[in-house]
Amino acid sequence: METIKLEAHAKINLSLDVLKRREDGYHEVRMVMQSLALCDDVYMEMLPGQDKIILEPYKEHMAAANQTGMTAHSLSEVPFDERNLMYKAAKLMRETFGLKDGVRLHLDKRIPTAAGLAGGSSDAAAVLRGMNELFGLHADEETLAALGVKIGADVPYCLMGGTALSEGIGEVLTELPAAPPCRVLLAKPGCGVSTKAVYEALHVNERPEEAHPDIDAVISALQDKNIRRLSARMRNILELSTIPLAPEVPKLKEAMLELGAMGTLMSGSGPTVFGLFTDNELLGKAADALRTGVYRELCDEVIETSFYRITAL
Ligand code: ATP
């Protein structure tokens, strides 16, 4: 039986603004999204004549986790049942297209969970694409995006990937010029934060104008392929509500700058902090310092990665 493998890439927000909380409780956003090379691997196999969805962690991943006695990459926080966004994506595709056959899904998780890196949304986007391919459905991008937004606001962006402006509740997407090459250091504090709780605690409608980031300045820096200017203009309004829940965030930002990052910001609703580096050696040294030095207590996961889907300089 044919098995297909898909990469589900993590994202960071190079800037994030929440414009307002609507009457219906949804928040309108304006965010600059960037894919990272860091990804989960999703394996999919059709189960002919079987009316079911099977979802399991990737076997080799489990074996490695058992051998080292660790819970590899937040695997324990991922629900392997109908709550999983991959399961929801497969179910939605089966219902929408009236599929009689089932599917087996394996997840090799590397993206930290509940971290502001859209791991779950990206896994769901991979499953939508994978179902389309595996079952020969020929659904176009628009159809997949319309199904994706039913699963989560970030899913349409995850289907698209690259560098993009995300507006509305996350479903209005505009492709931006691809970013120049850039190395990225991710540091995730031990705690996870609930995206919903962070948005609610922001009370955005009561925030003054000055609290809002200048998203256009970031877009302009991207258009000019100017990482230094981009680094100087990056802002995330959600830091205001995440920092009281995760006081490591400002400390990690400060540490990254001390360690040579050109710019640093919290991604999404956090609590992951990223630093941008153009010097690879400096990034390696900063990663070592965060893993072993005086900063060690601030984070429990440190990952070295890069922008994904970039342009030549
Ligand atoms: P975002 O940046 O879109 O807010 P996030 O990175 O903060 O997302 P996720 O890693 O997507 O958060 O996970 C949030 C919660 O969703 C987890 O705590 C977990 O219980 C649940 N979840 C459902 N499906 C998945 C999945 N495939 N991978 C990870 N978490 C999942």
Nearest-atom index, ligand 1, CA of 113 = 10
Q: Which of 32-36, 169-173, 248-252 has the lowest mean pLDDT?
A: 169-173
Ligand 1 atom 12 nearest Cα = 114
140 alpha carbon – ligand 1 mean position (Å): 26
155 alpha carbon – ligand 1 mean position (Å): 11
Determine the residue type at 238.
L
Instruction: Please give the pLDDT value at position 70.
Output: 41
pLDDT digits 0-9 by tens, 201-222:
999 999 999 999 999 999 999 9
Cα separation, 195 vs 173, in Å, equals 20
DSSP string, 147-159: HHHHH-TTHHHHH
Predicted TM-score (pTM) of the model is 0.94
Cα separation, 202 vs 245, in Å, equals 12
pLDDT at residue 313 is higher than 80: no
- What would the mean pLDDT of 3-14 be, rounded to a whole number? 97
Alpha helices in the chain (DSSP H): 59-68, 85-96, 119-134, 141-151, 155-160, 195-202, 215-223, 227-233, 239-242, 248-258, 280-292
* Nearest alpha carbon to residue 86 among 114, 109, 61: 109
In the chain, count of helices (H) and strands (E)?
Answer: 11, 10
- What would the mean pLDDT of 293-309 be, rounded to a whole number? 93
How is residue 101 annotated by DSSP?
S
Cα separation, 96 vs 113, in Å, equals 28
Determine how many CB atoms are found less than 10 A away from the CB of residue 47.
Answer: 14
Own/partner long-range contacts of 175-179 (Cβ < 8 Å, ≥24 apart): 176/32, 176/219, 176/222, 176/223, 177/222, 177/223, 177/225, 177/311, 178/309, 178/310, 178/311, 179/14, 179/34, 179/222, 179/225, 179/307, 179/310, 179/311
79 alpha carbon – ligand 1 mean position (Å): 9
pLDDT at residue 66 is higher than 60: no
Ligand 1 atom 17 nearest Cα = 114
- What would the mean pLDDT of 189-203 be, rounded to a whole number? 92
Cα 60 versus chain centre, distance: 23
Determine the residue type at 233.
R
Ligand 1 atom 26 nearest Cα = 120
Nearest-atom index, ligand 1, CA of 154 = 3
pLDDT at residue 63 is higher than 70: no
Residue 307, Ramachandran bin (φ over 0: left; ψ between -120 and 50: alpha; else beta): beta
Polymer length of the chain: 313
* Nearest alpha carbon to residue 306 among 214, 196, 183: 183
110 alpha carbon – ligand 1 mean position (Å): 12
Residue partners of 24: CB distance under 8 A and separation at least 6: none
Given the DSSP bridges, would you call strands 3-21 and 27-47 parallel, antiparallel or unpaired?
antiparallel
Nearest-atom index, ligand 1, CA of 195 = 4
Nearest-atom index, ligand 1, CA of 85 = 24
60 — pLDDT class (breaks 50, 70, 90) = low
Instruction: Please give the pLDDT value at position 74.
Output: 55
Q: Which residues line ligand 1 (CB under 6 A)?
A: 77-79, 83-86, 113-121, 123, 154, 195, 268-269
Cα separation, 11 vs 163, in Å, equals 9
- What would the mean pLDDT of 129-134 be, rounded to a whole number? 98
Ligand 1 atom 31 nearest Cα = 120
pLDDT at residue 69 is higher than 50: no
Cα separation, 68 vs 285, in Å, equals 25
Packing angle of the helix pair 141-151, 85-96 (nearest 10 deg): 130
